[in-house]
Amino acid sequence: MSQLRWRKSSFSEGHTDTCVELATGPSGRPHLRESDDPEVVISTTPAALRALLRAVKAGELDRLGG
């Protein structure tokens, strides 16, 4: 996974390691990781990532674990 080019959101908190990073692999498959634990990488499909982003934007995950 070291060949992936990781991107942070422009909404990240400056130079802290508290953000999710995103990269696209050669096959077009998206990969996500937490910047403070970069060795753990989650691979998903474009459709699943779109569904996750829609749910986050709609606030559907705001009450998880609470």
Residue 4 confidence (pLDDT) above 60: yes
- Per-residue pLDDT reduced to its tens digit, 6-63: 998 777 766 666 788 999 988 899 999 988 888 999 999 999 999 999 998 999 988 8
- Per-residue pLDDT reduced to its tens digit, 13-24: 666 667 889 999
Give pTM, 2 decimals.
0.75
Token pair listed for 11:
């909404």
